[in-house]
Structure 1
Amino acid sequence: MKTRNCGNLTVSEIGMGCMGFSHGYGQIPSEEYSIEALRKALDYGCDFLDTSEAYGPYMSETGHNEKIVGKAIKGRREDVVLATKLFIGTGEARRSAYDALRKHLEASLKRLQTDYVDLYYLHRINPDVPVERVAEGMGRLIDEGLIRGWGLSMVTVDFIDRAHKVTPVSAVQNIYSMMERDYEKKVLPYCQANNIGFVAFSPIASGFLSGKVTADTKFVGDDVRRWVPQLSQRNIAANQPFIDLVSGVAERKGCTNAQISLAWMLHKYSCVVPLPGSKNQERILENLRASEVELTDAEFRELENGLADLKVYGRRKEVNMGSEYID
């Protein structure tokens, strides 16, 4: 697989979000199945694996996902660019953001069975913890060799710029797809100009752009798609023009809708690394094979022109500090 840069890190141009092996998509697979899926992704050429301390069944078992990833990469650590995340609570950072970072990281390292993490994200901004203090602490962890780079998740340019001035940011992980394009206004140009990787989570719009989600699809258990407004029965029907647009190109290219969705963002921005997530081995490999799909300039323009005319029904919004977390 081709590679892209996330600051000082080089990663496969499509990464793998590992959350689904622990929660978020209903019934989780067995540990054996999950480990096999991760190793198949590595064998294909995907070296960029993304996890978090928070990923666990119903968000109650801290580190469940990290333990699975750790077992999967055992003996292959040098072949992996490993990303994980933390959230700093207000109380634990009153004395020292660095101490809080170090405590969380040490626990993650133990679960991941490694002595360093390649990319360490602040999972969400805590308004009570200045991002500059976090950036300073991350810089110390880099100097100590415990992490190689650091990043922020679901942030605007203001936060990125404040942090980047203290310790250079390697990557920003925000939601991005054909149906979530707000970050094209400011964040993506900033990342492109400052050699910061933009890691796009939910790049297939929670599976909607695959064309496999219909008004009859039932989401059960802790499946996060139960709360995604684009996937209500009414909005699935209203958003059908997105499927029609992508399907037209996919049929002519002889590939899947999901692959076109990923190829579109790879073609558009050199700093973007899509991070599709799935718990299904077949779907994981399908997504990774989007690296084999190259859009022509004419096909890309067709998609761009079509998207410009479409309205998204049920836009997803992140809320932080009482306001929409969008530029």
Structure 2
Amino acid sequence: MAEQVEMPRVKLGTQGLEVSKFGYGCMGLTGIYNSPVPEEEGIAIIKEAFHKGITFFDTSDIYGVNHANEYWVGKVLKELPRENIQLATKFGICGIDASQVIVKGSPEYARSCCEASLKRLGVDYIDLYYIHRIDTTVPIEETMGELKKLVGEGKIKYIGLSEASPDTIRRAHAVHPITALQMEYSLWTRDIEEEIIPLCRELGIGIVPYSPVGRGFFAGKAVVESVPPNSSLQHHPRFTGENFDKNKAIYFRIEKLAKKHGCTPAQLALAWVLHQGNDIVPIPGTTKIKNLHENIDSVKVKLTKDDLKEICDAVPVNEVAGLKTMEAFVRVSARFANTPPPK
């Protein structure tokens, strides 16, 4: 058993939300990169994360068959002190098939999703409620107006956005302060550094990187063994064909640097993200207690400015082969997330 880690705490945004230095992304428990784990195992992992100092848990109404992920998180919450937990969930993706991600952001939909999530989670309020993807047919002001009402009613405490464009972030923030922006961010996906991170810092918005270990790439299992047969990574542009062969060289460079720092490649990748600023709270997920302990121990990996540069140089972004996600998800990413002007 890894030793008890005193998890540092950080403020997300400027409205008063305080969370553990990193969170736990619950998505993988109900299957996407792997088969769903048995319910008892999933619940045990979430509990162990809490006992190891993680208090920030991230789920969504779209995770798992028939919203299984929220139901599981709800079961765990009954056994833990609710007031010590920062619970994040999301709405806005109402369907996914091979060719498209269906996004909905109408005010009525936002309210009905929030009320359904509260029921499934068995809670009176959600700490951080995210718009999961941006509906480009609805002015962001309309969606935000409804979320602002839900804050007023005490159903949600803080509002977040996920995969939002700079214009959408500014306009949303003008309606009600945004506490956190969730974006893909890792050693091999750094496109938010140019415009989005500076904008969040200007507006006082916290940054929550998802897939901070590169969808598990920097954990190395897919590289040295193989991608699990039922994993969505079987179709991921960076994990397939020639792209994957090219990207393996990047993994081996990070593996070499990790040895130098006396940690695993996954810990080095996480430590790099953690060192990007005190307003950055990654949410790695895992289905194994051993990996959970390893992730938590990445907080202990100390890196200097020179170390960070050496790590960046080992993963030149222009050498990463393949789109950062599947085509259908690229079409609903921040790059295409502007909304029409308010009516």
Query: Which TM-score applies when normalising by structure 2?
Result: 0.87
Q: CA deviation at 1:277?
A: 1.4
SS of residue paired to 1:259 = helix
Q: Are 1:6 and 2:12 counterparts?
A: yes
Distance 2:317 2:199 in 1: 26
- The alpha-carbon distance between structure 1 residues 103 and 92, as it changes in their structure 2 partners (threshold 3 A), is same
Mapping for residues 235-246 of structure 1, pairs under 5 Å: 235-246=243-254
Residue of structure 1 equivalent to 2:240: 232
- The letter of the residue matching 1:70 is G
Residue of structure 1 equivalent to 2:81: 76
Q: Which runs of 5+ in 2 are unaligned?
A: 1-6, 95-101, 339-343
- The letter of the residue matching 1:85 is K
Mapping for residues 1-327 of structure 1, pairs under 5 Å: 1-7=7-13, 8=15, 9-57=17-65, 61=66, 63-74=67-78, 75-87=80-92, 97=107, 99-214=108-223, 216-221=225-230, 223-308=231-316, 311-317=319-325, 318-320=329-331, 324-325=335-336
Distance 1:322 1:76 in 2: 35
Q: CA deviation at 1:88?
A: 6.9
Q: Which runs of 5+ in 1 are unaligned?
A: none
Q: CA deviation at 1:111?
A: 0.9
Q: CA deviation at 1:215?
A: 6.8
Counting matched residue pairs gives: 319
Distance 1:16 1:6 in 2: 15
Query: Which TM-score applies when normalising by structure 1?
Result: 0.91
| Paired residues of 1:53 and 1:86 also in contact (CA < 8 A) | yes
Distance 1:227 1:6 in 2: 34
Distance 1:279 1:216 in 2: 17
Distance 2:337 2:273 in 1: 19
| Paired residues of 2:164 and 2:333 also in contact (CA < 8 A) | no
| Paired residues of 2:135 and 2:337 also in contact (CA < 8 A) | no
Distance 1:22 1:309 in 2: 31
Q: CA deviation at 1:155?
A: 1.4
- The alpha-carbon distance between structure 1 residues 182 and 277, as it changes in their structure 2 partners (threshold 3 A), is same
Distance 1:177 1:92 in 2: 27
- The alpha-carbon distance between structure 1 residues 323 and 176, as it changes in their structure 2 partners (threshold 3 A), is closer
Deviations 1:75-102 (A, max 9, x none): 42112100000117799876xx1x3322
- The alpha-carbon distance between structure 1 residues 91 and 244, as it changes in their structure 2 partners (threshold 3 A), is closer
SS of residue paired to 1:262 = helix
Distance 2:211 2:284 in 1: 6
Identity rate of aligned residues, in percent? 36
- Aligned CA-pair RMSD: 2.3
Identify which range, 290-299 or 40-49, moves more after superposition: 290-299
Distance 2:319 2:161 in 1: 29
Q: CA deviation at 1:321?
A: 6.8
- The letter of the residue matching 2:73 is V
